């Protein structure tokens, strides 16, 4: 039986939803994204794209290109609602669905094309059902594999429907530029062009990948196969999350190490909580730094044991930060590279908040944060190499972590879910919230919305916050309720 894969992509999804909910927007350029000076475009309607506006463009640039456009802040709850409806429509046709994002997915429709008058009729049927249920238009591509299906869905947007039939794979690809191959970015594209490979047909004539190796190394086989239309990857129903991270673009460039330190605390806190929410741990911690000249650098460190530990994520982030700064300064910070595992005695002296998690916690010299080389525009922390088994490698030289610390983390997560993230904070997060370290940096509006959407907790934060904003007597009452909850939770965990 021949395999048929379908790729579904909503056309300008966020902007289309806004035009759907606001009929007066139809026919006008709509730009969805952060509305602050350093916001970015999340989606632009096709009317806006005529003026050169596109996703990931700085909002300031978009306003210059399209000053008369309708600029809208994203409503992720609404987009999720529509995305779920579309997903249910897809399930009417096949249970084998691999969501890629809110607005696109792969479907394995092998074996059901015979129920229609071929792949084109099947694609049209799904497009019609989505429109009937949501009033939105999708583009779809059907092909023998995922690479070709995604490529096909992009060929005739908007409202496209393209089928790449068996036996025509190489013909469809031949005249396309090599940058259409997954994983071929600007640098790889230039290396391939230097080798005489500008179009896919230039690669198709090769008998094997050997002539590509000098230019792309171990990626040669994959690129050679994709250029020939070969892709054996299955549609993954339970697609594993690859990484969890938080990053932020700042309204003002950051230069103060004290502010950077608070930000690393904040990112470690958010990432650790998102890991615990999904019952995941990670082996690799990475930082991302973008300077005010838009140069972006990353550094990462592999940990011996997977962790969801806030303190360990923070300490590793500081280690990477100092290492990165000293690399460029031409110096070696021995303290930043020296890792000493805590002894049992030291662990007993440490506060409970420093021992949350499941992995042994190394001590880094984080007393001094290196000065940034240049003002920062963006900073972020990510944990990857995720695992759900929760297994932790034993360490012969350290005492095991008290299980009560991880239970406390669970209690604190529960309290934040009920009362809001401002209910209980460590010192660094409290300073960040109240702007006591340097000038308070306003979080970019779009990233704030993305974080809130990812954590799914924003709707639970009003109960405590509204009380904290009222009178002192009301605050006292709420604090009593919070303390009671904490005592009860701690008592439950002790059992």
Instruction: Cite the active site residues.
Output: 104
Other C-beta atoms closer than 10 Å to the C-beta of 315 total 22
| Spatial separation of the C-alpha atoms in residues 40 and 58, rounded to whole Å | 4
Contact 52, 32 (CB under 8 A): no
- Indicate the angle between helix axes 257-277 and 427-434, nearest 10 degrees: 110
The first and second tokens of residue 337, run together, are 């590279």
DSSP state of 456: T
Question: Distance of CA 356 to CAs 309, 312, 362, 410, Å?
Answer: 6, 9, 13, 10
- Match 């958010």 to its residue by tokens: 270
| Spatial separation of the C-alpha atoms in residues 1 and 113, rounded to whole Å | 11
Question: Distance of CA 490 to CAs 357, 487, 493, Å?
Answer: 17, 5, 5
Nearest to 16 by CA among 161, 159, 160: 159
Q: Please report the DSSP string for 44-96 in residue order.
A: E-HHHHTTT--TT-BHHHHHHH-TTSEEE---HHHHHHHHHHHHHHHHTT-S-
Residue 307's DSSP bridge partners are 282
Q: Please report the DSSP string for 428-455 in residue order.
A: HHHHHHHT-SSSPPPBPHHHHHHHHHHH
| Spatial separation of the C-alpha atoms in residues 375 and 362, rounded to whole Å | 30
Contact 195, 209 (CB under 8 A): no
Strands (E), 135-235: 138-143, 161-163
Nearest to 324 by CA among 289, 279, 349, 274: 289
| Spatial separation of the C-alpha atoms in residues 452 and 450, rounded to whole Å | 5
Q: How do strand 376-387 and strand 243-254 relate by DSSP bridges?
A: antiparallel
Give burial (CB, 10 Å; 0-12/13-18/19+) of 384. Answer: middle
């Amino acid at each position: 039986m021949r395999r048929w894969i379908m790729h579904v992509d909503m056309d300008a999804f966020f902007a289309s939803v806004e035009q759907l909910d606001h009929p007066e927007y139809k026919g006008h350029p709509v730009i969805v994204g952060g509305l602050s000076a350093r916001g970015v475009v999340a989606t632009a309607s096709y009317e806006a794209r005529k003026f050169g506006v596109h996703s990931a463009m700085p909002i300031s640039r978009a306003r210059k290109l399209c000053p008369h456009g309708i600029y809208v802040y994203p409503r992720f709850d609404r987009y999720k609602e529509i995305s779920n409806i579309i997903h249910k429509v897809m399930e009417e046709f096949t249970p084998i669905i691999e969501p890629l994002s809110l607005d696109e997915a792969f479907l394995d429709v092998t074996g059901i094309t015979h129920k229609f008058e071929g792949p084109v009729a099947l694609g049209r049927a799904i497009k019609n059902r989505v429109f009937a249920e949501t009033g939105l238009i999708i583009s779809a591509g059907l092909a023998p594999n995922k690479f070709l299906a995604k490529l096909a869905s992009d060929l005739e947007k908007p409202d496209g429907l393209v089928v790449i039939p068996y036996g025509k794979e190489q013909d469809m690809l031949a005249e396309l530029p090599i940058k259409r191959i997954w994983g071929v970015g600007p640098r790889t594209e230039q290396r391939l062009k230097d080798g005489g490979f500008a179009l896919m047909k230039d690669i198709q004539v090769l008998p094997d990948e050997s002539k590509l190796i000098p230019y792309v190394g171990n990626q040669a086989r994959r690129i050679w196969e994709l250029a020939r239309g070969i892709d054996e990857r299955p549609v993954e129903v339970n697609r594993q999350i690859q990484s969890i991270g938080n990053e932020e673009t700042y309204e003002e460039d950051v230069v103060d190490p004290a502010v950077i330190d608070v930000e690393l605390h904040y990112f470690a806190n958010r990432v650790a909580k998102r890991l615990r929410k999904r019952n995941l741990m990670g082996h690799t911690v990475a930082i991302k730094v973008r300077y005010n000249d838009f140069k972006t650098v990353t550094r990462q460190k592999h940990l011996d044991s997977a962790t969801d530990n806030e303190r360990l994520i923070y300490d590793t982030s500081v280690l990477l930060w100092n290492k990165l700064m000293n690399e460029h300064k031409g110096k070696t910070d021995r303290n930043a590279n020296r890792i000493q595992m805590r002894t049992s005695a030291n662990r007993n002296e440490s506060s409970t908040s420093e021992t949350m998690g499941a992995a042994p916690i190394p001590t880094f010299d984080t007393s001094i944060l290196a000065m940034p080389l240049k003002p920062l525009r963006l900073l972020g922390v990510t944990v990857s190499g995720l695992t759900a088994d929760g297994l932790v490698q034993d360490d012969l030289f350290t005492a095991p972590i008290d299980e009560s610390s991880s239970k406390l983390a669970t209690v604190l997560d529960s309290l934040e879910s009920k009362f809001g993230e401002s209910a209980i904070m460590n010192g660094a997060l409290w300073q960040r919230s109240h702007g006591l370290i340097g000038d308070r940096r306003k979080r970019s509006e779009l990233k704030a919305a993305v974080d809130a959407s990812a954590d799914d907790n924003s709707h639970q934060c009003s109960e405590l916050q509204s009380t904290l904003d009222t009178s002192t007597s009301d605050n006292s009452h709420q604090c009593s309720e919070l303390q009671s909850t904490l005592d009860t939770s701690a008592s439950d965990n002790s059992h």
